[in-house]
Amino acid sequence: MAPAESRVTPLEHTAIGAGAGMLEVIVMQPMVAFKNALQEGRPLPRTPIALYRGLVINCCSMAPITASQFGTSRMLEQAITRYTGNDITSAGRFVSAAAAGSVSALIGSPTELIIIQQQKKLTPLVQEAKHFFSTYPATSIYRGLAPCIGRETLYAAGYLGLCPVLYDTLREKDYSPSTSMIASGIIGGVFAAAASHPFDTVKTRMQAYMYSKPEYLTSAATARTIYAEGGPLNFWRGLLPRMTRIIGATFLLINVRAAVVGYLEEQRDPKLNGSAAAAEAALAAASGP
């Protein structure tokens, strides 16, 4: 049962998200390399250097992305509960997570553009950044922003909205915490990956080809091109590595969040004794009032 008021602040959730995001990138970076290669139609990277190309900027980007998703989602949930005077509903959690995802796209889109260009040209970060800004106007850094907003909205709704709702539902049906976590993590991760992947495919193509091909100049033109190449299923190219990454990310992010929030809750409430009780309270508090 969740406490009446969580003792972990939105700012602390933001800091937790930054650390969890960097950990997730370090573990799952090869899946990003595979996914980008499949979506662009180029050979799969095979060496460790190629698999981890773009790691530094990805870590630097994912930390604020996940931080903003954790913190914004938490603030919106608190705003909803205070406005309504009731506990947060499943719909409220889902909407808060989706809105947090859309905000985080402002951070994620520019950094992913540089990562994609790095992986495509096999160039170092500083060299690619200098080349990009000397070649394109500064506003080009937000190329692909619209599909990125669509992707992040659905992605965050899956792992920050759907996953906790499923976890609570399974716990109410007397499933164990571990079973509930595994099931909710897999379902939330699959939803987040499958629903958001078409947006990700459009974004990746736009950022990979920039302005070199007219068929990729706009989101609509890119979508038409992808459809013409292989029909509806072409939007899901690269889904398997991305789904693998997102399922892994869901487990990492939610468990790190639960562990750290649980520790803080335990330190601030003497009634919570033991890491298991603290983690259970944290999972509820992470999406409760």
Nearest to 181 by CA among 241, 244, 250, 246: 250
Count of beta carbons in the 10 Å neighbourhood of residue 255? 15
pLDDT digits (tens, 9 = 90+) for 224-239: 999 999 999 999 988 9
Number of domains the chain contains? 1
4 within some domain: no
Domain-located, residue 88:
yes
**Domain-embedded: residue 63:** yes
Q: Looking at the domain assignment, is residue 166 inside a domain?
A: yes
Give the pLDDT of residue 227: 96
Residue 3 resides in a domain? no
**289: pLDDT strictly greater than 60:** no
Lowest mean pLDDT across 93-102, 139-148, 270-279: 270-279
Question: Sorting pLDDT into bands at 50, 70 and 90, what band is 284?
Answer: low
Q: How confident is the model at residue 145 (pLDDT cuts 50, 70, 90)?
A: very high
Mark out the alpha helices in 41-54 (DSSP H runs).
48-51
In a domain, 5, yes or no: no
Distance CA 243, CA 98 (A): 18
Tell me, yes or no, whether 243 lies in a domain: yes
The pLDDT value recorded for residue 3 is: 37
Report how far residue 51's alpha carbon sits from residue 255's, in angstroms, rounded to the nearest whole number: 25
What pTM does this model have? 0.75
**pLDDT tier at 135, thresholds 50, 70, 90:** very high
- What's the length of the chain? 289
pLDDT tens-place string over residues 9-63: 778 878 888 888 888 888 888 888 888 888 888 888 888 888 888 888 778 778 8
Residue 258: CATH number of its domain = 1.50.40.10
Residue 279 confidence class, pLDDT cut points 50, 70, 90: low
269 belongs to a structural domain: yes
Q: Report percent pLDDT > 90 for the chain.
A: 32
The residue range of the domain holding 156 is 10-285
